[in-house]
Amino acid sequence: MLGEDRSAAELAGMIERRISGVPLEYVLGWVEFCGRRYAVDAGVFVPRRRTEYLVELAVGKQVGTAVEPPTKSQPTVVVDLCCGSGAIGAAVAAQLEAKANRPTELYATDIDPTAVLCAAKNLADVGGTVLCGDLYHAFPANLRGRVDLLVVNAPYVPSDSIRLMPPEARLYEPWVTLDGGADGLAVQRRIAADAGDWLAPGGRLFIETSEQQAPQTRQLLEQAGLMTTVEHSEDLDATVVAGRKPAGSPKETGR
């Protein structure tokens, strides 16, 4: 807050809000994620430090992939599904561009209009399309079978466990950003079921989950025909299930 260089009165107001329990990121209006600042508006999920692991994996796998686009100018199609502030998609696009000089065709989608407005601000620098809607219903039809990289941090907290979360989350972040239904897997189940329709042959999906839920998340993706691995970072206390659509999959419809 001191680094924000505000007037004494403004600073006092910020401190008061923080003391009353308002999450620091809402007081500041931004969060640091993957080394950059992203806007976070009130009511939008605050990107967590652990989610940087998902970005790391997605960029690393994409840069290291054996299947390079036919030409340098062909963009990697990236979708940040359940994007919230859009920080994941923006960070992936920025890193693909910086590390591998790979242009991206970036989309970010969320069901909550407040999140969509926030994501539009955060995607302004990298460029991209922000859409509002229920999971894949937000996707333009021409994305079917074309998504190279689907990055997802969807709600995965079991409904009954939300009351155990820190007050900054359970009092300030809307229910729709946290609630994964009775077993925490309700949204992930729907995401897995249709992922194969939207991924390009060889396309990858990275989805954050909890360490306890990882076997079930993995099973959902396997049932949808993806090849999977479970990745875990002790340092960030982060778990991600990575899925890949087989290159010769019968659902192949894209390039």
Ligand X SMILES: C[S@@+](CC[C@H](N)C(=O)[O-])C[C@H]1O[C@@H](n2cnc3c(N)ncnc32)[C@H](O)[C@@H]1O
Residue 213 is a binding residue for ligand X (CB under 6 A): no
- Decide: is 84 part of the binding site for ligand X (CB under 6 A): yes
Instruction: Give the nearest residue (CB) to ligand X.
Output: 84
The widest CA-to-CA distance across the chain, in whole angstroms, is 63
Among 45, 53, 107, 172, binds ligand X (CB under 6 A): 45
- Residue 214 CB coordination number (10 Å): 19
Q: Which member of 92, 93, 94, 154 binds ligand X (CB under 6 A)?
A: 154
Binding residues with ligand X: total (CB under 6 A)? 21
Q: Does 188 bind ligand X (CB under 6 A)?
A: no
Task: Judge whether 41 and 117 are in contact, CB under 8 Å.
Answer: yes
CA distance 64 to 52: 18
DSSP state of 2: G
Q: Smallest distance from the beta carbon of 248 to ligand X, in angstroms?
A: 30
Which residue stretch of 67-75, 81-89, 140-148, 162-170 sits at the interface with ligand X (rule: CB under 6 A)?
81-89
Q: Quick check: 154 and 210 in contact, CB under 8 A?
A: no
Q: Can residue 136 be called a binding residue for ligand X (CB under 6 A)?
A: no
Is 112 a binding residue for ligand X by CB under 6 A? The answer is yes
- Candidate residues 23, 128, 145, 155; the one interacting with ligand X per rule CB under 6 A: 155
CA separation for the pair 253, 255 (Å, rounded): 7
108 binding ligand X? (CB under 6 A)? no
Minimum CB distance to ligand X smaller for 52 or for 249? 52
Is the separation of the CB atoms in 147 and 54 below 8 Å? no
Per CB under 6 A, does 238 bind ligand X? no
**Any contact of residue 158 with ligand X (CB under 6 A)?**
no
As a whole number of angstroms, the distance between CA 114 and CA 118 comes to 6
Q: Is 186 in the site for ligand X (CB under 6 A)?
A: no
DSSP one-letter string for 172-228: HS-HHHHB--TTS-HHHHHHHHHHHHHEEEEEEEEEEE-TTTHHHHHHHHHHTT-EE
- Residues 44 and 178 sit within 8 Å (Cβ to Cβ): no
Q: Does residue 23 bind ligand X (CB under 6 A)?
A: no
Q: Which stretch binds ligand X (CB under 6 A): 91-99, 104-112, 192-200, 211-219?
A: 104-112
Q: Which residues bind ligand X (CB under 6 A)?
A: 45, 47, 51, 82-85, 87-88, 110-112, 115, 134-135, 153-155, 176-177, 187
